[in-house]
């Protein structure tokens, strides 16, 4: 069983579109994250939720909106996609903020 799964794995879309990436973890963790990895491999945290509450919201355009319907899910919705949004987006979870994080396989988003 995949511990942290995200869908889709690849996403190609045109500028201006709205898209969502889904993430689910079956580890029973309380904390979930979204990271963005750019072409230089930099891993930058975007959001963190603990027990469905937003605890970290880094400087991210408000076109990005996370939603956590329950502790096992953290979805990422992106409005009005721009070329600069192209990157690999990773979902992760841990049993507490700052504890060992388990990452999903990533979603490669390409905006054309």
- The three-state DSSP-derived secondary structure of 46-79 is EEEEECCEEEEECCCCCCEEEEEEECCEEEEEEC
Distance in Å, CB of 35 to another protein, minimum = 8
96 near another protein (CB under 8 A): yes
Nearer to another protein, 15 or 99 (CB): 99
Are the C-beta atoms of 100 and 4 separated by less than 8 Å? Answer: no
Q: How far is CA 27 from the centre of its chain?
A: 17
**Contacting another protein within 49-78 (CB under 8 A):** 56
Asked whether position 42 contacts another protein by CB under 8 A, the answer is: yes
Nearer to another protein, 18 or 38 (CB): 38
Residues 9-38 that bind another protein (CB under 8 A): 33
From first CA to last CA, the distance across the chain in angstroms is 34
Residues that bind another protein (CB under 8 A): 4, 33, 40-45, 48, 56, 90, 92, 96-98, 100-106
């Amino acid at each position: 069983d995949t511990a942290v799964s995200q869908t889709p794995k690849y996403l190609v879309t045109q500028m201006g579109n709205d898209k969502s990436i889904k993430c689910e973890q079956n580890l029973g963790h309380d904390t979930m994250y979204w990271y963005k990895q750019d072409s230089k491999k930099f891993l930058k945290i975007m959001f963190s939720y603990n027990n469905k509450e937003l605890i970290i919201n880094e400087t991210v355009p408000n076109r990005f909106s996370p939603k956590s319907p329950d502790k096992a899910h953290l979805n990422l919705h992106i409005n009005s996609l721009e070329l600069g949004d192209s990157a690999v987006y990773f979902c992760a979870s841990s049993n507490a903020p700052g504890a060992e994080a388990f990452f999903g396989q990533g979603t490669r988003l390409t905006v054309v």
